[in-house]
Structure 1
Amino acid sequence: MALSCKNKLKFIDGSITKPSRDDQKCDVWERCNDLVISWIVRSVSPTIVHSVFWIDTTYGIWRDLKRRFSQQDLFRIAEIKWCECTTKCKCGKKIDELNEKTEKDKLSIFLIGLHDRYTGGRNQIMLMRPLPDVCDASL
């Protein structure tokens, strides 16, 4: 919201690119880019700052952070989604897609419920691509 209020979102999504050195707007762009970088740097932990400080554009830093932290956590997704509802196809999606999604959710719920002594096996299963069916994982 702060970026939107300050009209700086386009630095994050890369739609405002750096003008050439001889362009009069280059100094203004650099000042705005540095401002947004300083906001990002103050918003993340010091260890993360050290890993992105060498990137000189807001867009570059944002892309790096997004790549690093936008990975899905299947365990957390299962905790959030789990309820007593049944999945019904009302939106026009193919039933196979819904079944595959449901199967992944079942696998996550199954793995979350395992005793702590199975942590190693659980982690190995979660790293598998493609993920196995819950029946295969329980063997």
Structure 2
Amino acid sequence: DWSDDKKVRYVNDYIVRHTTYKLKSKESPYTPYSILFNGEGVCEGYALTAYLLLQAAGVDIRYISGHAGGGLHAWNMVKLEGQWYHLDTTWNDPIPNRPDEVQEDYLLVSDQTLSKDHTWNKKQYPQTAQNDY
């Protein structure tokens, strides 16, 4: 019975609190398996985990690939109340790892906000709402 925005916040917080950003993982760091069972991974794993969990929860979600921080990067877009927003669970996870802390700088943000430090082929993805959620 949760609203979609509550589902998005819950999944974001769960992934961030239970995951350490780590390239040298016990399993492939690019998979939801590594995130959910080993608590470690990289952006692709974070984004695919959010995708699977939110899709199962009935939230309209997309997987996005682009660039951020000087390299390849992956994150998501979610649709709330008829508008699209970006969700970057990786960049919401503080480094060094602090399991009790969740950042929300990249939670439900607009194209304009995300464009400050992320790039992607905007023609391939829906345009977001004008303002952050």
- Shorter-chain TM-score bucket reads under 0.3
Q: Which has the higher contact order (CA 8 A, sep 6+)?
A: 2
Give the TM-score taking structure 2 as reference length: 0.24
**Normalized per residue, which structure has more strand?**
2
**Normalized per residue, which structure has more helix?**
1
